[in-house]
Amino acid sequence: MSEITRAIAELPLRFKGPGGAVAVIKDGAVIAREAWGYADLARYRPFTPATLFPICSISKQFTCALLLDQLGDPARLDAALKARLPALAEPAPRVLHLCHNQSGLRDYWALTVLCGAAPEGAFRPADATSLMGRTRTLHFPPGTQYSYSNGNFRLLSDVLEDHLGKPFDEMLKARILTPAGMATARLNPETGNLPGGAVGYEGDDAFGFIPAVNHIHWTGDAGMVATLDDMIAWERFIDATYGDESSLYRRLSVRPHFADGRPASYGFGLAHMESQGIVVTGHGGALRGWRSQRLHVAQERLSVVVLFNHESSAREAAFAVLRAALGQATPPRPETAYDPQWTGAWHEPRSGLVLDIAPANGTKGQLSARFTTDAEMLALKSENEAASPSMTLRRDGDTIRMLRPVDNLDAELTRLSGPSPADVTGSFQCGELDSLFQVTATGNATYASFEGFLGKGAMQPLYPIAGDIWRLPCRRSMDAPAPGDWTVHFHRDAAGKISGVTVGSWLARRVAFETRK
């Protein structure tokens, strides 16, 4: 049994769920094309390479492909972009900032939480226009940092459609999908009405699997559906044209830079990664009940695609298959013992976010660090240094230096400690979003909720971290993955009274609320 065959055979057991599919393409030829399980458990409908699947954020590269195909200079749309942000009181991002997730715009799906949206609630095009049109502030100056923002690519498809004077989906099909041989791929903005009959599932092997419910509308950010065979066609199209420096994927996969000249790890809807020193480009996709990942190694003319109709890590699965195809051994586990002094919450003042560190579950030589939406596993290099592909932490007593090149972030964090005063109840208003943050206490527990133009959100537990910094978990929202933990920082006036609160997550930082009069 070859290593590729072995790695593929292990996927259904390593990543347990209703169904999935995988493909490996080498030198333009398909060397693996397999599917297993069921696209619909209740109707016994098998998962096949012809099953239509929401590829979600993998769509972003296709949006950028159409942009590059149709415009010699994307800056031609900068004025149109600015017009779609009428309330913005800061220098506006440029179209290229959107393409590279350097716009400073907060993720609009994360902001739906602050506007009271229910996870299974409806979200219409008018809601997107209203929400993004409220933008007054950015969470960093354009071009200076990276922050994943789905709204970047929705705006791209909107301004591109206006410029072309033709429907975005029509042009996408005619100019990109059909030439690439993606016969059944298309834009399908309605997540509650997916073609083909496939079902996505929430849950896991321990909890069980239940059909996921989605009612959001999206476009250039994540709106495509495709089959495994469609994705194979895309990878073969890339391979057939890559030798031409002016080819579409060569242009898409040029590595961009930040304003300070440092190389960025994201551009034109593609993440720039490595597998044991070998350069990889690709992207994942996620919606409640669905996960997908494609990877491309140009120097090896190698591609891997993984599709799951459940919430296991398609990214981890794709890299496992990729390593097998490259003949790479699984990296050895580090042996450095975990020092309990790492454990705790650490505050990063520029973003306002909290880094949570804990020992990895039963894994020697690793720690779990959550700063973004998901926890990352970092290998301990020494007692005071730990690193993952995207983050390095160096600890010196109660201070940590955090290096995140992907975000262009070099920051000093301090350990949070001490009791949290309980006098944080009240109502707080966000003028930018016109939303309400309500904090209540019942017994010895504290809860909070958001209310805005999208509804009245459910109460959720609010947990103290230290001092006036609290944590509001968010594990389910309209988009997936959800924002994770919101860092809630209460502010006091000279008399010690609460004067306001800042709420933030990695996807939407420093959203200001004032005490309601």
Which pLDDT tens digit goes with each residue over 264-300? 999 999 999 999 999 999 999 999 999 999 999 999 9
Candidate CATH numbers 3.10.20.90, 2.60.40.1510, 3.40.50.2000, 3.40.710.10; the one for domain 3-72+169-326: 3.40.710.10
pLDDT at 456 over 80: yes
Specify whether 157 is catalytic. Answer: no
The proportion of the chain whose per-residue pLDDT surpasses 90, expressed as a percent, equals: 94
pLDDT at 363 over 70: no
**3-class secondary structure for 466-510?**
ECCEEEEEECCCCCCCCCEEEEEEEEECCCCCEEEEEEEECCEEE
- Residue spans of the domains in the chain: they are 3-72+169-326, 340-415, 426-515
CA 422 to chain centroid: 34
Q: 244 — phi, psi (to 5°)? A: -90, 120
Rounded Cα–Cα distance for residues 136 and 433 (Å): 9
Q: What is the pLDDT of residue 99?
A: 98
Residues 468-509: pLDDT tens digits? 999 999 999 999 889 999 999 999 999 999 999 999 999 999
More confident residue, 335 or 358: 358
pLDDT at 377 over 70: yes
- Give the CATH fold of the 340-415 domain: Lipocalin (2.40.128)
* Residues 325-341, mean pLDDT to the nearest whole number: 84
**Would you say 335 and 377 are in contact if contact means Cβ atoms under 8 Å apart?**
no
Residues 479-490: pLDDT tens digits? 988 999 999 999
Specify whether 57 is catalytic. Answer: yes
Question: What's domain 426-515's architecture?
Answer: Beta Barrel (2.40)
SS3 151: helix
Which member of 26, 59, 60, 253 is catalytic?
60
Q: Which two tokens stand for residue 140?
A: 């960093």
Q: What is the pLDDT of residue 517?
A: 75
Q: What is the pLDDT of residue 335?
A: 75
Which member of 26, 57, 303, 351 is catalytic?
57
Rg (CA), the chain: 23
Question: Are the folds of 340-415 and 426-515 the same?
Answer: yes
Rounded Cα–Cα distance for residues 350 and 411 (Å): 8
